[in-house]
Structure 1
Amino acid sequence: MKKAIVVKIGGSLLKDPTSYLRAAEFIAEVVEKGYNPIVVVSAAKGVTDEIIKAFEEGIERFKRVIEYYSDLAHSLGGEKLVREIYVLARRPLKILEKGVLDEAMRDLLLAFGEKASKIIFVNALQTLIKNVAGVSSEDFIITNCSHGNAHIDFESTRPRIQWLIKNAVENNFIPVIEGFTGMDEKGHITTLGRGGSDYTATAIAALGGVEEVWLITEVKGVYTADPSMGVNPRIVKTMSYNEGDEAARHGVKRFNEKTFHPLKAYPGPVVRVGSYESLGTTITREINREDMKPKIIHSNYSISDSYIAIIGEIVERGALLKKIIELLESENIEIKGVEMHVNRPSILVYISKDNIPKSIKIIHKELIDRGAL
């Protein structure tokens, strides 16, 4: 009997027929290694943004999304697959024709992106593996009624996920489920917020008792900083759940802010983050003392506040804060405020927006490149 594993394929990897086939090949490789993957699929790259634009611009904008997916479907599965896309699009189109969208209707439209992507991916995977089944998130992911940013109801979802995984492993089939979406107790489709497919994947793994979840993107792991800030970032090799949760809170790697909640609530799996070629970052519940150090230097901009977050479980937080203040003051960078929490692995330093890039370079060079504390 093969070992269950959850694999999420990120939307940044799904762009055209070739990329869907490459994703399918990757899953086939996972199967060859002796795993029984439960596959979570995101919408194709850019689709969610296009659907959001359709909220304002109307039905013609949404038809572009349908046309995009129908072209993909035609390339990968012919007219039969195209018909499936158009059948899926009927309800969203009827909603847009009415012209008035409430939050529940918006979620239904957004869910089209993931559902269409799943249909196409299942077809691509079936060209390589016979025992593949597309399953619907509404049947397995139960949420509260908070449209646009729903929380998964762990207790209601858990028995459904356990049943799915048990049947998949015992009957040797590969389930493919759309991420980002679920269903509330009233039977309405909900969405989990941007980056919600990561949340879907970690919830399935934690609630289903799966030992590993792989979050596959176009980069080889979580980086120490955004390379656009003029630094040469490294891949963070090890992180704790607390560090991952804090990184998600500040928007690192566009993790959904709820991604690590199911892992902390249940005996969680090992999370591996990376690309097809390399799963560079490993995230576990606990880390060794020698791995407790600054790991990520991340900036956050807003109209009222801008800050740098130094993320990492750190033994000597006082010494680290003193070092950061000295570094910035030596460059005549005004510190507007500092924020630390007892139970959160980060230090936030508030500075002006204009000083963010320079400050990140300075802090990254000293704390990451030199490893100085």
Structure 2
Amino acid sequence: MPILVMKFGGTSVADPGRIKAAAEKVRGEVENGSDVIVIVSAMAGRTNELVGWVDSIAPFYDAREYDAVVSSGENVTAGLMALTLQEMDVPARSWQGWQVPVRTSSAHGAARIEEIPRANIDGKFADGMKVAVVAGFQGISPEGRITTLGRGGSDTTAVAFAAAFGAERCDIYTDVDGVYTTDPRICSKARRLERIAFEEMLELASLGAKVLQTRSVELAMRYNVPLRVLSSFEETGASSGTIVCGEEDIMESRVISGVAYSRDEAKMTLTAVADRPGIAAAIFGPLAEAGVNVDMIVQNISEEGRTDMTFSCPVPQVTRAEQALQAAREKGQIDFAELIADTEVAKISVVGIGMRSHAGVAARMFQALASEGINIKVITTSEIKISVLVERKYMELAVQALHDAFELDKAGQPELAAKAN
């Protein structure tokens, strides 16, 4: 029988009523002739509650016990989903990560999936089981301990199962009905995309779009697993949602696919840094050791052997970055005049595979921001994206201006393509 993977996020299984609605969608796929692997998250808010309990008891917790606690939310959902399906006369069974087994690394709290053997679940399918309900977000380490995959890990679980079982498709059910050109809450003209390339989705996910976890998109791209993002609260059909697929499977011609934003960004600048070989390693080495996620990096032109080094990082990591750099300074590893942290910035990015073959994208972006009086603090580019840092108070205006400038409310953007050429 063909295998379909269906993943339901926390809002989709927030209570017994929503679990029943999700189970109806699963039953529909079974009636259409598929064996189904359902991946479930914990009920909405449950993981945060469990994390809070751990923090209240042991702020400096044992990561192995942390995983044992926070993985329990998915176990509850999996059991309830299996029971609901059984009440609908659908042969279903729940599976925890260790029962499959989902074999992972030993990095508790951020484990990576290494192998998913098919034998156990395939055997149950052969015996008449129609639905395997698997607890997402969790696995088992080589030492036999429960592990978790990090926030959003159920998306990664779903894609990994789709790859391991050669599924026809992996459907991700969430509280939105697809991937939009930007956040509809900010821009009323945002348009749902019928298809988006893996590379574009990966950039959007890493730049702040919350639809899919970054690691799940990486895995889907590596194994060429077609993803479909759907709403669990709407009736679905063949044309529902957004398909995330290979670039070669996209017929619609467009230069820019979307505008992403990240609100909680900080811009940090080291002034008068000695401009010498190895200085970048001396700065960013301690930051990496401290677990600071550095994104945009800009170095100014050197004057009299001194330069300024600017980088961005998440606001919650600013204190950690400051401590790491001050410690490196005290050890004599780096020398700088001042460390300036600006925590009132936002990152705005435009993403599109069409940038590879169209000139003028950067000019249009910068002109759109300039026409609204928005000053750019930092710019970085890659093959399919351009990102800027602007004052946070202009974030929504910048997103709207760029969405209009690139005519993202229009399918295909034919006028933009012509102008870009």
Q: Is the TM-score greater than 0.5?
A: yes
| Aligned-partner Cα distance in 2 for 1:285–1:251 | 21
* One-letter identity of the residue aligned with 2:257: K
The equivalent of 2:27 in structure 1 is: 28
Q: 2:60 & 2:398 partners in 1: Cα distance?
A: 46
Which of 157, 165, 171 in structure 2 is aligned with 1:200? 157
User: Which residue of structure 2 aligns with residue 231 of structure 1?
Assistant: 188
Distance 1:319 1:172 in 2: 58
Q: Which residue of 1 aligns with 2:298?
A: none
Q: Deviations over 1:279-298 (max 9, x none)?
A: 31011122436444312211
Q: How many residues align?
A: 325
Q: Which residue of structure 1 aligns with residue 105 of structure 2?
A: 144
Q: Is 1:7 the equivalent of 2:22?
A: no
Counterparts of residues 214-293 of structure 1 (less than 5 Å): 214-266=171-223, 268-276=224-232, 277-278=235-236, 279-286=240-247, 287-288=249-250, 290-293=252-255
Say if 1:297 and 1:164 are closer, same or farther in 2 by CA, change over 3 A.
Answer: farther
Which of 172, 192, 195 is the aligned partner of 2:128? 172
Aligned-partner SS, 2:221: helix
- Deviation, 1:270, is 1.6
Aligned position for 1:163: 119
- Taking the aligned partners of 2:113 and 2:42, their CA distance within structure 1 comes to 19
Pick the structure with more strand per residue: 2
Query: Out of 140, 143, 147, which is 1:190 matched to?
Result: 147
Aligned to 1:64: none
Deviation string 1:101-159 (CA, Å, 9 cap, x unpaired) is 31111111110111111111111111013421111212321111222122111xx33xx
TM-score (normalizing by structure 2): 0.73
Which shifted more, 5-14 or 310-319? 310-319
Q: Which amino acid aligns with 2:72?
A: F
- Structure 2 CA distance for aligned equivalents of residues 128 and 25 of structure 1: 8
**Counterpart-to-counterpart distance in 1, 2:150 and 2:183:** 22
| SS of equivalent to 1:177 | strand
Partner of 2:170: 213
1:42–1:7 distance in 2 versus 1, CA, 3 Å: same
Give the % identical residues: 28
3-state SS of the aligned residue for 2:142?
coil
In 2, Cα distance between the equivalents of 1:272 and 1:254? 11
- Offset of residue 193 of structure 1: 1.2
SS of the aligned residue for 1:253 comes to coil
Cα contact 1:222–1:253 (8 A) shared by 2: no
Seen in structure 2, the aligned counterparts of structure 1 residues 355 and 115 have a Cα distance that, compared at 3 Å, is same
TM-score (norm 1): 0.81
Q: Cα deviations across residues 192-229 of structure 1 (Å, max 9, x unaligned)? A: 11111111000110122112110011221112211232
Query: Partner residue of 2:316?
Result: none
Q: CA separation in 1, counterparts of 2:79 and 2:121?
A: 20
Task: Say which one has the larger Rg.
Answer: 2
Query: 1 CA distance for matches of 2:369 and 2:147?
Result: 44
- For residue 168 of structure 1, report the CA deviation from its aligned partner: 4.7
Runs (5+) with no aligned partner, structure 2:
268-311, 313-345, 417-421
Unmatched tracts of structure 1, length 5 or more: 59-95
2: CA distance, partners of 1:185 / 1:152: 11
Cα drift, residue 57 of structure 1: 2.7
**Per the alignment, in what secondary structure is the counterpart of residue 353 of structure 2?**
coil
In structure 2, how many angstroms separate the alpha carbons of the residues matched to 1:43 and 1:356?
Answer: 32
Q: Is the 8 A contact 1:193 1:256 kept in 2?
A: no
Whole-angstrom distance in 1 between the partners of 2:3 and 2:127: 12
Per-residue deviation, 1:49: 1.0
Question: As a proportion of its length, which structure holds more helix?
Answer: 1
| Aligned counterparts, 1:58-97, within 5 A | 58=57
What does residue range 296-315 of structure 1 map to in structure 2 within 5 Å? Answer: 296-301=258-263, 302-304=265-267, 305=312, 306-314=346-354, 315=356
User: Residue 125 and residue 55 in structure 1: after superposition, are their counterparts in 2 closer, same or farther (change >3 A)?
Assistant: same
1:215 and 1:271 in contact (8 A); partners too: yes
Match of 1:355 in 2: 394
Deviations 1:13-67 (A, max 9, x none): 1122211111111111111112111110110011111111112334xxxxxxxxx
CA–CA separation in structure 2 for the residues paired with 1:307 and 1:318: 22
Moved over 4 A (4+): none
* 1: CA distance, partners of 2:55 / 2:95: 31
Mapped partners of 2:91, 2:105: distance in 1: 32
Instruction: State the distance in 1 between where 2:60 and 2:372 align.
Output: 54
User: Deviation of residue 323 (structure 1)?
Assistant: 0.7
**What is the CA distance between 1:169 and its match in structure 2?**
4.2
One-letter code aligned to 2:88 = L
Higher mean displacement: 313-322 or 22-31: 313-322
Matches of 1:194 and 1:143 in 2, distance apart? 16
Q: CA deviation at 1:247?
A: 2.1
Q: Distance in 2 between matches of 1:337 and 1:100?
A: 36
C-alpha separation between the residues in 2 aligned to 1:261 and 1:22?
Answer: 30
Q: Which amino acid aligns with 2:399?
A: I
How many angstroms does 1:332 deviate by? 1.8
What is the distance in 2 between the residues matched to 1:362 and 1:31?
45
**AA matched with 2:367:** E
Q: Distance in 2 between matches of 1:140 and 1:114?
A: 15
What value does the CA root-mean-square deviation take over the aligned residues? 2.0
Q: Label 1:291 to 1:145 Cα distance change in 2 as closer, same or farther (>3 A).
A: farther
1:39 equivalent in structure 2 = 38
